[in-house]
Amino acid sequence: MSGRVFGLSDGNSFYCSCERVFEPALEGRPVIVLSNNDGCAIARTSEAKALGIRMGDPWFKIRDEATAAGVVARSSNYVLYGDMSRRVNEVYRAYARDVEVYSIDESFLDFTGEPDAAGRAREMREVVRRWTGIPTCVGLGPTRTLAKVANHLAKQRPELNGVCDLIDAATREALLPTVEIGDVWGVGHASAAKLRAIGVTTAAALRDMEPRAARSLLTVSGERLVLELRGILCQDLELTPPVRKGIAVTRMFGRPITDQHEMLQAVTTYVARAAEKLRQHQLASADMTVFFHTGAHAPGTPRSVSGRAGLWAATSDTLEMVKAANAVVRRLWAPGFRYAKAGVMLDDLVRPDAAPRSLLDAPDLRRDQLMVALDRVNRRFGRGALVPASAGLIKAWTKRADMLSPAYTTKLSETPIARA
């Protein structure tokens, strides 16, 4: 046994729960959140799942039937979801020794040394609901894998009241045989098929495999799963995010682009966001690729093009990167096509102080100060408050979000007001 106690806490139907916090009338009703451009279902409440709505169902196909059944659809509001995630994790940090934010709706927690980890988790769960409005489930175990399995059980078994404790070996012995192999964290569809073919159909059966056999079948990750299901710690919390190796900003358009000026606007917007991300992570890049293409199923002749931008040295300067990217757009542009998507990709990311520099170019401190000012303005007044001129003001090509909820927590003009 590891002697450690891990928790995995996640928000139930997190995106939908964020919408319900500010629209109490949605409680108890089937709610779904749609992907970019209101494409397909990416989050569903239990009521929506009960109606047969599946993850990835295209909205245009299910809209009429779903609306008739009383389903409420919302466009994805990632700014709201990200801010609500931050608030939830602030509560987690008050209850756990360490917190690893695993995804926007999931966090691993370190409860090691806590005499009553389950009681602590129950109290934390109640405070999260009271302070943020987000319902959560918590799984506990001596390894990350067991905590993840416990979290799955907490969501599936109402009698556990949102908290499942797999710290005790006897409890694991009783519950692991009830967990399907495909529900074990790290076992994908292909791996599950391989395991079922040799009779391994539950988490308990995987735990009882010979580690070397699991490694032979599923590589080293399979061996680690077996050991972690036995309570042997193989992976600790990752409290320091790994250095990013690449950044990409890509978007489908709300409607096809047929005009070069609009494509320049779109690419400028995406480059500005990518450069902002570089500065957030204190990185720079000299390897930028720009691409745009028509839709896969659109009528007419398809076209897909990409090109590398000419950056002389690693940079995170928005204006320099926009100039290089727009040169690529002008070089690759061909009229007569209905372009559906564009994006920029940054590779070979480095720390600015470690980046090779030209002997002919001296650092421009004024430009560095300009980028600092740009980021400060956008943090204070909202992303997009200050942008390069080539990004434009009127962007008819932007993503479709016909059912977008307000920015309740991040925009003063859209903050909800309590009235007597």
The predicted model gives 169-186 an average pLDDT of 95
Can you give the CATH number for the domain in which 299 is found? 3.30.1490.100
- Would the pLDDT of 363 be above 70? no
Can you give the CATH number for the domain in which 159 is found? 3.30.70.270
Could you give the percent of the chain with pLDDT greater than 90? 76
> Which one is predicted more confidently, 285 or 384?
285
> Domain check: are 154 and 271 in the same one?
no
104-109 contacts, C-beta under 8 A, 24 or more apart: 104/14, 105/10, 105/11, 105/14, 105/15, 106/8, 106/9, 106/10, 106/11, 107/8, 107/9, 107/10, 108/6, 108/7, 108/8, 108/144, 108/147, 108/237, 109/6, 109/7, 109/8, 109/9
Determine, yes or no, domain membership for 224: no
> Domain check: are 147 and 274 in the same one?
no
- Would the pLDDT of 345 be above 90? yes
> Domain check: are 2 and 137 in the same one?
yes
> Domain check: are 378 and 288 in the same one?
yes
What is the predicted pLDDT for the residue at 410?
A: 82
What is the predicted pLDDT for the residue at 46?
A: 94
Determine, yes or no, domain membership for 386: yes
The predicted model gives 323-350 an average pLDDT of 94
* pLDDT tens per residue across span 133-162: 999 999 999 999 999 999 999 999 999 999
What is the predicted pLDDT for the residue at 401?
A: 78
* Burial tier of 389 (Cβ tally within 10 Å: 0-12, 13-18, 19+): exposed
- Would the pLDDT of 339 be above 70? yes
> Domain check: are 16 and 161 in the same one?
yes
Determine, yes or no, domain membership for 72: yes
Of 130, 149, 171, which one is at a domain's C-terminal end?
Answer: 171
> Domain check: are 266 and 384 in the same one?
yes
- Would the pLDDT of 34 be above 60? yes
What is the predicted pLDDT for the residue at 414?
A: 84
> Which one is predicted more confidently, 392 or 231?
231
Written as six digits, the tokens of 184 are: 């074990």
Q: In what order do the strands lie in the sheet with 41-44?
A: 41-44, 31-34, 72-75
Could you give the percent of the chain with pLDDT greater than 70? 96
Determine, yes or no, domain membership for 202: no
* pLDDT tens per residue across span 391-420: 887 777 887 778 889 988 887 788 888 776
* pLDDT tens per residue across span 124-134: 999 999 999 99
- Would the pLDDT of 1 be above 60? no
Of 144, 171, 198, which one is at a domain's C-terminal end?
Answer: 171
> Domain check: are 40 and 162 in the same one?
yes
CB atoms within 10 A of CB 234: 16
What is the predicted pLDDT for the residue at 357?
A: 67
* pLDDT tens per residue across span 253-299: 988 999 999 999 999 999 999 999 999 999 999 899 999 999 877 77
> Domain check: are 158 and 287 in the same one?
no
- Number of folded domains in the chain? 2
> Domain check: are 16 and 129 in the same one?
yes
Does the pTM of the predicted model rise above 0.95? no
> Domain check: are 165 and 309 in the same one?
no
> Domain check: are 132 and 257 in the same one?
no
Determine, yes or no, domain membership for 94: yes
Determine, yes or no, domain membership for 397: no
Q: Taking all residues of the chain, what is their mean pLDDT, rounded to a whole number? A: 91
Model confidence band, residue 360 (pLDDT cutoffs 50, 70, 90) = low
What is the predicted pLDDT for the residue at 224?
A: 95
Give residue 74's domain range.
1-171
> Domain check: are 76 and 166 in the same one?
yes
Of 109, 140, 171, which one is at a domain's C-terminal end?
Answer: 171
* pLDDT tens per residue across span 80-114: 999 999 999 999 999 999 999 999 999 999 999 99
Determine, yes or no, domain membership for 179: no
Determine, yes or no, domain membership for 29: yes
What is the predicted pLDDT for the residue at 361?
A: 64
Written as six digits, the tokens of 40 are: 């397909």
